[in-house]
Amino acid sequence: MGKDCIFCKIAAGDIPATKLHEDEEMVAFRDVAPKAPTHIIIIPRAHIPTINDLKPEHAPLIGRMLLLAKQLAARAGVAEKGYRMVFNCNAAAGQSVWHIHLHLLGGRDLGWPPG
Ligand code: DGP
């Protein structure tokens, strides 16, 4: 567990979150400050600070995170209209929690390019 990592604490159940999925490898929960009607965060239980820290052995994990996001998009009812998956990497991209996380956003028209 990352020392003082808020997402490790959510995964462990030490701080509350509205969880939508939990398994031995990943947890999905609602973003506390949603940027769209559907805004779900998917995290691995493993503490990996940024996408820059990914190693080849993480490829199956990242694949399963994307597949979980796809399932959650369908469950949220945004799959047909459209949704976005985002990994922010480091401060210039807007990363503010140093534990990799996949944003799933939908339920409104999303501008492109992002700000
Ligand atoms: P990023 O800016 O890409 O690092 O995204 C971090 C997201 O995590 C941001 O949209 C807000 C969300 N977040 C931060 N702290 C908490 C928390 O304690 N609970 C929940 N549910 N979401 C959080």
**pLDDT value of position 1:** 76
CA of 96 to the centre of ligand 1 (A): 7
Ligand 1 atom at minimum distance from 18 CA: 21
Question: What are the structural domains, with CATH classification, of the chain?
Answer: 6-106 (3.30.428.10)
pLDDT in tens, 41-99: 999 999 999 999 999 999 999 999 999 999 999 999 999 999 999 999 999 999 999 99
pLDDT in tens, 11-24: 999 999 999 999 99
Please, which pLDDT band fits residue 2 given cuts at 50, 70 and 90?
confident
Residues comprising the chain, all counted: 115
Q: Is this model's pTM higher than 0.95 or not?
A: yes
Ligand 1 atom at minimum distance from 96 CA: 4
Q: Which residues, 6 or more positions from 83, have their beta carbon under 8 angstroms from its beta carbon?
A: 38, 73, 76, 104, 105, 106, 107, 110
User: What is the rounded average pLDDT of the residues 19-41?
Assistant: 98
**pLDDT value of position 115:** 85
User: What is the rounded average pLDDT of the residues 23-27?
Assistant: 98
Enter the tokens of residue 49.
């600070």
CA of 92 to the centre of ligand 1 (A): 16
What distance in Å separates the CA atoms of residue 69 and residue 86, rounded to the nearest whole number?
A: 11
